[in-house]
């Protein structure tokens, strides 16, 4: 059950990263706040890769075409997800915005079944579905729970951005798993660290060129606010390394489902740090997510 503890650390790192990205949104803009997640994570990712390889005595595997294709595809879709998530913070609270992106759990299960051929058990599938229902309930936070309101809330700009961010994240997590599996090494941590380092390098280059052409002032601002950027980069690098390790240890769907514990952390930060008071429906929806996480954990234990 090592993957569960690794996933929890990943969720904590991701929460810290998201908190500082929301904080940097005002001075940096959407693109600038998104870019620091990659550019400042770059040195930490490579330090971890070389450091672990040296400490463990495990040689780094050679890169191959399949690995590079999957890593590039995953990196690009993760960039799009990150920009959409930061944009979503302008339309919803920090907690609700993050929760909307969590529809990626069920989408990751679909992508994993199509790409990797892995099918989750019925128990875990039901648990994941409960979690997704809870996320949809968040779209009704400001209105009564009726079919008409549910239908109208699902066709809003905020919901579209949230579902799109979840789709891109769901695909990129599966693509990263495929990339790590393409490396020839018996050490899961080495495969995960190489995948993380190469992906961050690709993302920093591609998004650096993009932001320089579209919003050079935001790129300069991301350099000026380097102190907060380092926190985003370090927490993002820790989170990425742990996510990739968890994906190598277990299936993507259950890992991402357990990772929804991040929402509980986000709810606390949203209330105590940003002063955003969630509605009763938002709290109930997140409690439903807790039920989903517990069910995934119990189902995972029975599988092992």
* Half-sphere exposure at residue 212, Cβ-oriented, CA atoms within 13 angstroms: 7
Cα–Cα distance, 114 to 13 (Å, whole number): 29
Nearest to 235 by CA among 4, 8, 12: 12
The alpha carbon dihedral of 72, 78, 81, 85 has a sign of negative
Distance of CA 12 to the CA centre of its chain: 11
Identify the pLDDT of residue 152.
60
Q: Model's pTM, two decimal places?
A: 0.75
Return the closest-CA partner of residue 66 out of 212, 162, 184, 188. 184
Q: Is 184 helix (H, G, I), strand (E, B) or coil?
A: coil
DSSP letter string over 146-179? -HHHHHHHTTSHHHHHHHHHHHHHHHHHHHHHHH
**pLDDT on residue 62:** 93
Q: What is the pLDDT of residue 219?
A: 93
- Please, are residues 142 and 113 in contact by the beta-carbon 8 Å criterion? no
Query: Rounded CA gap, 140 and 285, in Å?
Result: 10
Residue whose C-alpha is closest to residue 21's, from 69, 75, 87, 77: 87
Distance of alpha carbon 140 from alpha carbon 153, whole angstroms: 7
> Each residue's pLDDT tens digit in the chain (304 positions)?
788 889 899 989 988 988 888 889 889 988 898 899 899 999 999 999 999 999 999 999 999 999 999 999 999 998 998 888 777 766 655 566 666 666 666 666 677 777 767 776 787 778 777 877 776 676 565 556 566 665 665 566 777 787 788 888 878 888 888 899 999 998 988 998 999 899 999 999 999 999 999 999 999 999 999 999 999 999 988 988 888 788 778 776 678 777 777 777 877 787 777 777 777 777 787 778 777 767 766 665 555 5
Contact 177, 252 (CB under 8 A): yes
**How many C-beta neighbours within 10 Å does residue 222 have?**
27
Residue whose entry in the numeric block shows the structure tokens 């968890």: 246
| Two tokens, residue 150 | 């549910």
The residue written with tokens 């892995």 in the block is 118
Residue 234 tokens read as: 């370090």
pLDDT, position 87: 79
Spatial separation of the C-alpha atoms in residues 160 and 135, rounded to whole Å = 13
Neighbours of 64 (CB within 10 A): 12
Please, what is the end-to-end C-alpha distance for the chain in angstroms?
A: 8
Report H helices in 40-121. 42-56, 65-88, 94-101, 104-115
DSSP letters, 99-141, are: HHHTTHHHHHHHHHHHHT-----HHHHHHHHHHHHHHHHHTTT
Identify whether the C-beta of residue 36 lies closer than 8 Å to the C-beta of residue 138. Answer: no
Predicted confidence at residue 182, as pLDDT, reads 93
């Amino acid at each position: 059950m090592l993957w569960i503890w690794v996933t929890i650390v990943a969720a904590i790192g991701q929460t810290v990263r998201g908190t500082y990205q929301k904080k940097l949104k005002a001075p940096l803009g959407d693109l600038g706040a998104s870019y620091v997640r990659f550019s400042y994570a770059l040195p930490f990712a490579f330090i971890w890769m070389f450091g672990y390889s040296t400490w463990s005595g495990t040689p780094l595997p050679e890169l191959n075409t399949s690995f590079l294709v999957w890593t590039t595809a995953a990196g690009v879709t993760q960039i799009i997800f990150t920009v959409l998530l930061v944009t979503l913070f302008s339309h919803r609270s920090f907690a609700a915005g993050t929760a909307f992106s969590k529809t990626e759990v069920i989408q990751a299960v679909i992508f994993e079944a199509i790409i990797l051929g892995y099918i989750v058990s019925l128990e875990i599938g039901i648990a994941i579905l409960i979690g997704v229902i809870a996320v949809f309930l968040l779209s009704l936070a400001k209105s009564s729970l009726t079919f008409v309101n549910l239908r109208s809330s699902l066709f809003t700009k905020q919901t579209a951005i949230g579902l799109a961010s979840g789709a891109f994240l769901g695909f990129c997590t599966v693509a990263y798993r495929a990339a790590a599996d393409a490396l020839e090494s018996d050490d899961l941590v080495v495969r995960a660290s190489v995948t993380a380092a190469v992906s961050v390098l690709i993302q920093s280059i591609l998004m650096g060129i993009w932001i320089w052409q579209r919003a050079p002032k935001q790129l300069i601002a991301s350099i000026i606010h380097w102190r907060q950027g380092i926190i985003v980069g370090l927490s993002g690098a820790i989170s990425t390394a742990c996510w990739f390790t968890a994906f190598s240890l277990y299936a993507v769907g259950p890992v991402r489902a357990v990772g929804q514990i991040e929402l509980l952390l986000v709810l606390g930060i949203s209330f105590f740090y940003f002063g955003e008071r969630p509605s009763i429906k938002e709290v109930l929806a997140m409690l439903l997510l807790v039920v989903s996480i517990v069910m995934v954990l119990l189902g995972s234990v029975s599988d092992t």
